[in-house]
Amino acid sequence: MIIETLSTFPHMYDSVMGSSMMKIAQEKGYLEFCSYDLRDWTHDRHRTTDDDPYGGGAGLVMKCEPVYEAYQAITGIDLGYHPELTGNEQPLTGNAPSHVGGLKPKTVFLTPCGRPFDDKTASELSREERLLFICGHYEGMDERVYELADYEISLGDYVLTSGELASMVVIDAVVRKIEGVLGAEGGAEQESFANGLLEHPQYTRPADFMGRSVPEVLMSGNHAAIDRWKREQSLERTARLRPELLEVAQLSESDLKFLKTLPK
């Protein structure tokens, strides 16, 4: 998978994308990542990417011209925007990848107006070959840039200063779903939300810690009993903490029977 980001603070990605599973995914060849500086597509000496909003209001709004120009350069798609050069252009530090050929990316915007991000959306995005995240900052973005969007995503009912932060969450959730990235066979499929439920409790050594013991069934070697325990614990935890998930989860007759035994 190829993932690219376009923002005014591209170096914010250095730590996240250069560490842990994101770094491993790139080293193993599952992921190619590139971050672009939106300021490279401005034409004034201040490298301006935002301006005051029409109609007044607090804060600054991201301009549409550099976004359109950058999109054309990164994707190779001519949108018909051809600004006159002023002679004050800055040299580009973001190099559009040559290896993608004519592969058009799916373009993702992070916005409070977008669809709520969930495991289903992460799985959907993980099946794409190329993703381009366009990240706003400050107050918001000129409404006309959203014409470029294939996805508009929200992390929740709150506002962040930085679209970069939101995109990192989405990228992490997406990349770890790519087959082979986690290493463990079926690892992503067994996590919370993958099957509509919260994940069962996990334990490791020591077997006894300050009088708190690991459930005996997990050390029994009885795989059928262990699988049954994990499923029931997943059901119990979901019913207790996120009962609304049970309304849409795929439940078997034995699941429903078990849920009836739980206290209200």
Q: Express each pLDDT in 30-48 by its tens digit.
A: 999 999 999 999 999 999 9
Token output for 212: 């708190």
CA distance 139 to 157: 16
The highest-confidence range among 78-87, 140-149, 185-194, by mean pLDDT, is 140-149
Q: Is omega for the bond preceding 206 within 30 degrees of 0, making it cis?
A: yes
Rg (CA), the chain: 23
For each of the domains in the chain, give its residue range(s) and CATH number, in order of start.
2-175 (3.40.1280.10), 192-261 (1.10.1270.20)
Residue-wise pLDDT for 86-104, tens only, equals 555 544 444 445 455 578 9
Residues in a beta bridge with 128: none
pTM (two decimals): 0.88
Residue-wise pLDDT for 167-183, tens only, equals 999 999 999 999 999 98
DSSP letter at 76 equals -
The predicted pLDDT at position 2 comes to 97
| pLDDT band of 193, cuts 50, 70, 90 | confident
| DSSP assignment of 115-182 | EEP-HHHHHHHHT-SEEEEE--BTTEE-GGGGGG-SEEEESSSS--SBHHHHHHHHHHHHHTTSTTSS
CA distance 63 to 51: 7
The predicted pLDDT at position 53 comes to 92
